[in-house]
Amino acid sequence: MIVLGIESTAHTASVGFVEDGKIIDFVSDSYRPSSGGINPREAASHHMDCFPDLLVKLLDRNSLDIKDIDRISVATGPGLGPALKTGVEMARYLSLKYGKELVPVNHGVAHLEIARNMSSFESPLFLYVSGGNTQIEIIGNGMYSVLGETLDIGVGNFLDKLARDLGIPFPGAPKLEEIASRGGEIFDCPYTIRGMDVAFSGLYTHLKNMIGKREERDIAFNAQEYAFTALAEIVERGMAHFGLRELAITGGVARNRRLQQLLREMSELRGYDYFFPEDKFLSDNGAMIALAGYFSKRVESPEDTRINQYERVDSYTAEWIGSRKVSPKSMVGGESMVEDVKFQGVECIRKVRRGREYRNPSLDRKINSQRLRREVRLLSAIKKVGINAPTVMYVDIDDLSIIMTKIKGKPLSMFLSDGNFNALVRESGRITALMHLSKISHGDLNAGNIIYNGDLWVIDPSMGSTSPTLEDFGIDVHLMKESLSSLGRERSFREFLKGYENFNRYEEVLNKVKEIEGRRRYL
């Protein structure tokens, strides 16, 4: 079967084809704005002008006729509305004129299919990084399941926006990479991770305000070090938490050599297998749309094919990828070593924040020391309001270690088959409400950071705050929702909310959660 793929979600117009599931060829042309970022209507006009010539070029150089095509697939979302429409209109026209099957494809799923097929991995964790998307995914139940993502803007948008502020035309990320290679001084900048989610808007604002005050090369250097270190960390947390051993990356930003270096060194340090596709397959291209279209059974009539500008990867059925069931394997996200010790005759654990050899040493020390101090402060605050938490017995800042009382029990995530699981989740909601009423956010609230031994105990609040905002409360609730979903217990989130409804800002927080989950990735 020969499948034609049409891509037009953002700045690139591309057509490509696969034959019997093998990528054969693609041709592309990218819109380049004279100033600023992508203008959606200008991009659409560019694509409309390019598509006829691109299709003729693809067919001619492969000695094909349009009649040789068996199926047409087209990216229907997510993306920029006007740009998406040009590709869909072309696909409809070809389908109707030549009587070809038409298959709508999710752009993100197509990127993931490149990594899945080329790596031949059985059950990998995927890092998908592009202009508008930043996510870590696994194979779920007949679709890709998102474990973590950006809470605000995609990493590519962050890099391109900062590049524009530095006077670098779109696309600025490749030039920023070149400039960053000449930098070396680490600044004190925001570093935002919540569970397995990341955020870049604070880092962007901070670095933007440094323009004119610091060297351009060091601004670019810090942009990459902070952003890519955060991405490597959430990948490592996901791999450790679910016991995964294979990593594959995809998306345009995955071409960045510094990001690849961090991920390669992290993988080799932890003994993970990893796969980075060739650069040409990481950019938006028609061949990836054709590949996903080849496997899909979702044939539609041209009249029914519509764009879905905000369609998520985890809302698109991809039955051909099969199903994988994963469950948490670790209470810590790969960032600490824990050992049993006795301290002053008391059974304790010693938790050491291990250095990550693959990270910039100055940044690594900064992150770990800040989290250690925050964990000590927050454990004390949590205990003071009557919530069970370990007692800190001794702290060694130089050694980045804490000795605290040992809690004999298992994480909530290990009680999925227990008949009392929903009751425990409901009680977790009540405890979270009490934390929030007491002006405490956890920052990494999930079913692995709540221990049950007859009572519920809260552990590892190292990303939380004692002066939280509504955003912090919303992120806590969002993280618990994500955690339950990743465990296949989406419905149990209702029980969590039953316990949480005692919080006097309950409705505000739920609205904030909706805002967080509905934030646009294409900006």
Reading the block at residue 433, the tokens are 């409400």
Q: Which of 290, 289, 236 is nearest to 263 (CA)?
A: 236
Reading the block at residue 11, the tokens are 């700045």
Is 517 within 8 Å of 129 (Cβ atoms)? Answer: no
Place of tokens 């994480």: 411
What is the CB neighbour count within 10 angstroms for residue 344? 8
- Label residue 335 left, alpha or beta by phi (over 0 means left) and psi (-120 to 50 means alpha): alpha
Task: Write out the H or E segment, with its range, that includes residue 454.
Answer: none
Kindly report the backbone phi and psi dihedral angles of residue 460, in degrees, each rounded to the nearest multiple of 5, phi listed first. Answer: 50, 60
Residue 398 annotated to the active site: no
Strand 456-458 and strand 450-452: the pairing is antiparallel
Instruction: Round to whole Å and give the CA distance between 494 and 510.
Output: 12
Q: Which of 25, 160, 197, 444 is catalytic?
A: 444
Strand 2-7 and strand 12-19: the pairing is antiparallel
Instruction: Round to whole Å and give the CA distance between 392 and 486.
Output: 31
Question: CA gyration radius for the chain?
Answer: 24
Instruction: Round to whole Å and give the CA distance between 396 and 76.
Output: 54
Sheet holding 336-343, edge to edge: 336-343, 346-353, 401-405, 392-396
Is 112 within 8 Å of 144 (Cβ atoms)? Answer: yes
Catalytic residues: 444
